[in-house]
Amino acid sequence: MIRLEKDTWVVVADGEKALFMRNDGGAANPSLTVERVKQQDNPPHGEQVSDKPGRRADTGAGQRSAMEEADWHQLAKERFAAELSDILKRMVQRGKIKRMVLIAPPKILGEMRDQMHETVTTTVIAQIPKTLTGHPLPELQKIVTGDLETM
């Protein structure tokens, strides 16, 4: 069982939004306070693309094949995960974060893990692969504490 001790940070992210919260209560009675919100404007893929994918010549006479189109929406999510990892690195290096719980959808959590500096990984006490950015704070707090109790 992992307890949410005082001054433990909880970072809840998805590919477009991140909430940085600190536990101002004790382990027995946690009270999350939002310290920072980071948001990125990332419209759906269809709104970011205006042209059809390109075509290229194939090895046969007069043959052409369509090229795969980049998923700009997904690329923006991956860039956002890298940016979050950089923000966390700076916060840890400044001594602001000493213990942290990371919560994000599995794919974003993996991206963040790949980008994360080793000084940040030493502060992570738990990782929860869920999408929770749309939940109100009281509900989010119950979900996080419940998940940590089962770990």
pLDDT of residue 7: 96
Residue 89, H or E segment:
helix 72-93
pLDDT of residue 23: 96
Residue 62 CA to residue 34 CA, distance in Å, equals 60
- Mean per-residue pLDDT, 84-108: 94
Check pLDDT > 90 for residue 69: no
Q: Given pLDDT bands bounded at 50, 70 and 90, which one contains residue 76?
A: confident
Residues 77, 108 contacting (CB under 8 angstroms) = yes
What residue segments make up the domains of the chain, in order of their start? 9-40+71-149
pTM more than 0.85:
no
Residue 86 CA to residue 57 CA, distance in Å, equals 41
Q: Given pLDDT bands bounded at 50, 70 and 90, which one contains residue 48?
A: very low
Could you tell me what percent of the chain has a pLDDT over 70? 77
CATH fold of 9-40+71-149 reads Nucleotidyltransferase; domain 5 (3.30.420)
